[in-house]
């Protein structure tokens, strides 16, 4: 700054002085700016522009060195497992499953004998004696050494069903197994099942193509015996053509029964149903019980419950058909029922009357053969008393017949 003023003193010309003054002012301003910058940024003034010109060095990326493998990788994805072929012992033979030979049947002249092993299922497990019955009848004898249960019954006993073909009479029994709960628990580990057993007997009379012209002996002079008359009570198909093979129904179905009597060398006979009782076991003296037919041929079920149960019109005197609407007893979850009826045969020429009739109720009592006045006693007492064994009393024969077990289930929801 001083040098500028010294130069101004030695200058004689005015323009030169002005230039010199201007130059001095510029120099002074620059000097003042430099001094103020040193005060505010002493470190910058000390190091100058070294850092400004220096470029920032970033650290290089760290790379991991892979360890050298001595051998290449030998691992592979595992293969799917394969089933091993079965290894059988030498001379092994696969057997076809066969039903166990656990039941033996002997059909006698008027009785049946059934021997059932206690290993009834053929699996090495002995069943309880009380769990096996013949149509509801308990075993009459037991062989503890051979582990065999023995059942004996008359052909018309233990819930048997009589079927007839052109050549034979067939008595059908049912061996029932109903497992009881295990060890006081509410569970079982086997299922209920039934086995049908049949005894076949040839008819005593030969059948030929010739027209038969029998000469009838007076009814009162005929000696009746058990071999002379054959009563039958059986379930029929919906068209009444053949016996029904299944005994399972749904609630509300119509169970169709046909009562008949085979008469052979007798005069023509009329069959009627005096009474019928439904029970849960094949014993009419047990409870619960439902007497849906009684008073010598009065169908009470339609009157009591408003059902469609009824006798069909009787076109053949030796056959009588009736329909019973399927039901089950309250609080009996099994739905099993037995139907036991007392059948009666009388001379076909005899009048339909208060004790020999087949009456249904539909807005009043109606008789199957059209003799409706015979039903006038159905609401009172026509004459009580039936017999359970075959007997001859003047001009009638009676026989107790049973059908069962019948299973009634609830209809499935649609």
Instruction: Dump pLDDT digits (tens) for 38-83.
Output: 555 554 445 455 544 555 555 555 566 666 656 666 777 777 666 6
Query: 150-197: per-residue pLDDT in tens?
Result: 999 998 889 898 887 777 888 999 999 888 875 665 656 566 778 889
Q: Which residue has the higher pLDDT, 191 or 291?
A: 291
State the Cα torsion 212-218-219-221 to the nearest 10°. Answer: -120
Give the integer Cα–Cα distance in Å for 289 and 337. 10
Weakest mean pLDDT among 90-104, 152-166, 284-298: 90-104
| Helices 14-40 and 2-10, packing angle to 10 deg | 180
CB contact burial 13-29 (16+ within 10 A = b; e otherwise): eeeeeeebeeebeeeee
Q: What pTM, to 2 d.p., does this model score?
A: 0.46
Give the Cβ contact number of residue 379 at 10 Å.
12
Contact (Cβ atoms closer than 8 angstroms) between residue 113 and residue 126: no
In this structure, are strands 168-177 and 132-134 parallel, antiparallel, or unpaired?
A: antiparallel
Compute the 3-state secondary structure of the chain and give helix, strand, coil in percent, each to the nearest 5. Answer: 15, 30, 55
pLDDT digits (tens, 9 = 90+) for 236-277: 988 888 888 888 888 888 999 999 887 665 678 888 999 999
Token pair for residue 316? 């053949």
CB atoms within 10 A of CB 285: 8
What is the structure's pLDDT at 312? 93
Tell me the pLDDT of the chain averaged across its residues. 75
pLDDT (tens digit per residue) in 334-379: 888 899 999 988 888 888 888 889 999 988 899 998 888 889 888 8
What pLDDT is attached to residue 291?
87
Is the pLDDT assigned to residue 215 strictly greater than 50?
no
H-type alpha helices, 248-374: 301-305
336 Cα distance to chain centroid: 14
**pLDDT level of residue 32 (50, 70, 90 thresholds):** low
Q: Where are the alpha helices (H) located in 41-141, listed in sequence order?
A: 42-47, 50-53
How far is residue 258's CA from residue 270's CA, in Å, rounded to a whole number? Answer: 13
């Amino acid at each position: 700054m001083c040098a500028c003023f010294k130069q101004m003193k030695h200058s004689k010309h005015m323009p030169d002085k002005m230039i010199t003054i201007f130059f001095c002012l510029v120099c002074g301003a620059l000097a003042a700016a430099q001094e103020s910058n040193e005060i505010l940024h002493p470190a910058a003034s000390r190091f100058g522009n070294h850092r400004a010109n220096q470029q920032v060095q970033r650290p290089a990326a760290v790379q991991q060195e892979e360890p050298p493998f001595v051998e290449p990788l030998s691992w592979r994805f595992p293969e799917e497992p394969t089933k091993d072929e079965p290894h059988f012992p030498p001379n092994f033979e696969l057997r076809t499953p066969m039903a166990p030979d656990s039941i033996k049947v002997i059909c006698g002249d008027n009785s049946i004998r059934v021997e059932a092993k206690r290993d009834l299922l053929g699996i090495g497990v002995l069943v309880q004696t009380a769990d096996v019955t013949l149509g509801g009848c308990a075993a009459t004898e037991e062989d503890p050494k051979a582990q065999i249960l023995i059942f004996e019954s008359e052909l018309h006993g233990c819930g048997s069903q009589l079927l007839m073909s052109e050549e034979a009479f067939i008595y059908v029994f049912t061996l029932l197994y109903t497992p009881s709960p295990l060890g006081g628990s509410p569970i079982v580990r086997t299922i209920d099942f039934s086995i049908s057993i049949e005894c076949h007997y040839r008819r005593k009379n030969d059948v030929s193509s010739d027209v038969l012209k029998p000469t009838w002996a007076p009814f009162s002079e005929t000696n009746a015996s058990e071999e002379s008359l054959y009563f039958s009570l059986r379930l029929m198909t919906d068209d009444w053509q053949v016996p029904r093979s299944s005994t399972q129904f749904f609630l509300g179905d119509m169970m169709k029964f046909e009562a008949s009597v085979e008469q052979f060398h007798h005069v023509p006979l009329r069959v009627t149903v005096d009474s019928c009782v439904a029970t849960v076991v094949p014993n009419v003296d047990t409870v619960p019980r439902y007497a849906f037919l009684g008073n010598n041929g009065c169908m009470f079920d339609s009157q009591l419950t408003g059902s469609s149960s009824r006798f069909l019109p009787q076109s053949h005197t030796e056959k009588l058909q009736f329909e019973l609407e399927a039901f089950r007893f309250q609080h009996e979850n099994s739905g099993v029922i037995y139907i036991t009826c007392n059948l009666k045969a009388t001379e076909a020429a005899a009048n339909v009357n208060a004790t020999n009739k087949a009456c249904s109720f539909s807005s009043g009592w109606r008789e199957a053969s059209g003799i409706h006045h015979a039903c006038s006693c159905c609401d009172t007492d026509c004459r009580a008393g039936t017999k359970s064994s075959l007997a001859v009393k003047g001009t009638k024969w009676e026989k107790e017949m049973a059908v069962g077990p019948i299973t009634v289930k609830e209809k499935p929801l649609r």
